[in-house]
């Protein structure tokens, strides 16, 4: 039914307009108690065997919504209603900003992919922190907060901008993510270099600890799939050195290899997400797990469409997985289907729990 609706309605609309329309429906449905309870029962069945603990947090399962869909924490209950086990909001910047000029979001239907150059359009960390503080959850959901650099802030002042967001948002976050890997903010990816990343992550860690005294907010960094292997190793080593809690692999790519969509689409600038990232994101994840020896929580994202895709990330070392682009193409029953497929895959694997399966392929390869 959704495939038909997508073909007849959403595909004919501007992608960003379609996003706002769907997002509005989700928000409104979540505000009606009887409706949200019915939809949650339909779309978010719980599988006991998928219960997950990661980053010191307990979740119904390992599958979450990647950052980018809910930039301003406006529909956390709505996304939990649709079956996501954790919701990562953002990217949120220190100051509000409109993002890049439209059109800035493109569907590559033939590739089951998206290109975006949104440019961190969001209401700013003060407004998002206030919304999170006022939230009265209808569903128990783990909420991660992804923070990035305000475009107008010079690179030399980037750490202070991240610190501002961390101080405001850490009290309301189950975990924090430092995003230094979007291709849509000039100079941002330069911050992935270890000489820049070390002081940045140190400053954000200290800011989160100042802002939240009664608990330690887990801190992760999100990296690009376009990093060279030696740079991935360097980030992994730095994460261990600084005592980070984890790494998210990966963000969007600036690569365009192997696409089938028309040239006028593939030539658009921005970050490519969706199915074409599947192979490289899995490679990066395997490398990170091998390098860190399972001492960090790894979150796999990029090209996850099915329960089998999620299962392969878990075998490669991911404790949690995330998706976004496939939601555009598969609709509201996507999370339900993926959970069902993943539960069946776990039962057939011989592993008692998902935690037992994390890194199984990589450990096997080493032996």
**Residue 52 assigned to a binding site:** no
Q: Is 70 annotated as a binding residue?
A: yes
Q: Token pair 């967001």 is at which residue?
A: 165
Please indicate if the annotation marks 146 as binding a ligand: yes
The answer on whether 117 is annotated among ligand-binding residues is yes
The answer to whether the annotation marks 289 as part of a ligand binding site is: no
CA distances from 209 to 117, 166, 182, 224 (A): 33, 9, 25, 26
Which candidate, 266, 200, 96, places its Cα nearest to that of 192? 200
Q: Distances from the Cα of 113 to the Cαs of 19, 86, 158, 253, 257, in angstroms?
A: 15, 22, 31, 11, 13
| The two three-digit tokens of residue 80, written as one number | 């939990």
Catalytic residue of the set 125, 165, 182, 281: 182
Q: Is 184 annotated as a binding residue?
A: yes
Task: Name the nearest CA neighbour of 179 among 306, 326, 58, 299.
Answer: 299
Residue 121 marked as a ligand binder? no
In degrees and rounded to multiples of 5, residue 86 shows phi and psi of -145, 155
Does 68 appear as a known binding residue? yes
Is 6 part of any known ligand binding site? no
> Does 256 carry a binding-site annotation?
no
User: At 89, which helix (H) or strand (E)?
Assistant: strand 86-93
Alpha-carbon distance of 249 to 245, in angstroms, equals 14
Tell whether residue 78 is among the known ligand binding residues: no
Q: Was 179 annotated as part of a binding site?
A: yes
Element (H, E) at 343: helix 334-349
120 appears as a binding residue in the annotation: yes
Active site (annotated) includes residue 319: no
Residue closest to 274 by CA, chosen among 88, 113, 118: 113
> Is the bond preceding 90 in cis, omega lying within 30 degrees of 0?
no
Catalytic residue numbers read: 182
Binding site per annotation, positions for substrate? 71, 116-120, 179, 184, 251-252
Binding site per annotation, positions? 67-71, 91, 116-120, 146, 179, 184, 222, 250-252, 274, 303, 324-325
Binding site per annotation, positions for FMN? 67-71, 91, 146, 179, 222, 250, 274, 303, 324-325
């Amino acid at each position: 039914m959704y495939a038909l609706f997508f073909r007849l309605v959403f595909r004919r609309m501007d992608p960003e307009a379609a996003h706002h329309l769907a997002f509005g429906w989700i928000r409104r449905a979540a505000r009606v108690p009887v409706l949200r309870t019915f939809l949650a029962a339909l779309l978010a069945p719980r599988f006991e065997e998928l219960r997950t603990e990661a980053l010191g947090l307990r979740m119904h399962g390992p599958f979450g919504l990647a950052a980018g869909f809910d930039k301003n924490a406006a529909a956390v209950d709505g996304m939990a209603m649709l079956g996501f086990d954790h919701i990562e909001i953002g990217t949120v910047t220190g100051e509000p900003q409109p993002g890049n000029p439209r059109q800035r979001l493109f569907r590559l239907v033939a590739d089951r992919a998206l290109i975006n150059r949104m440019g961190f359009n969001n209401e700013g960390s003060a407004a998002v922190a206030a919304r999170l503080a006022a939230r009265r959850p209808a569903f128990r959901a783990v909420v991660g907060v992804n923070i990035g650099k305000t475009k107008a802030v010079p690179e030399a002042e980037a750490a202070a901008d991240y610190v501002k967001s961390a101080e405001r948002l850490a009290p309301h976050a189950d975990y924090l993510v430092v995003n230094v890997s979007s291709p849509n903010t000039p100079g941002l990816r330069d911050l992935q270099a270890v000489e820049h990343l070390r002081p940045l992550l140190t400053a954000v860690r200290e800011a989160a600890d100042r802002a939240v005294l009664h608990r330690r907010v887990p801190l992760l960094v999100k990296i690009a799939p376009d990093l060279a292997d030696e740079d991935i190793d360097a980030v992994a080593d730095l994460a261990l050195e600084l005592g980070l809690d984890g790494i998210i692999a990966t963000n969007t790519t600036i690569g365009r290899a192997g696409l089938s969509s028309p040239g006028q689409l593939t030539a658009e600038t921005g970050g490519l997400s969706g199915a074409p990232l599947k192979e490289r994101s899995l490679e990066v994840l395997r490398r990170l797990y091998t390098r860190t020896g399972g001492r960090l929580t790894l979150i796999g994202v990029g090209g996850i469409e099915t329960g089998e895709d999620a299962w392969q990330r878990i075998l490669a070392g991911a404790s949690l997985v995330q998706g976004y682009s496939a939601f555009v193409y598969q609709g509201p029953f996507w999370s339900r289907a993926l959970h069902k497929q993943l539960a069946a895959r776990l039962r057939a694997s011989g592993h008692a729990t998902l935690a037992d399966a994390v890194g199984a392929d990589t450990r096997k390869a080493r032996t």
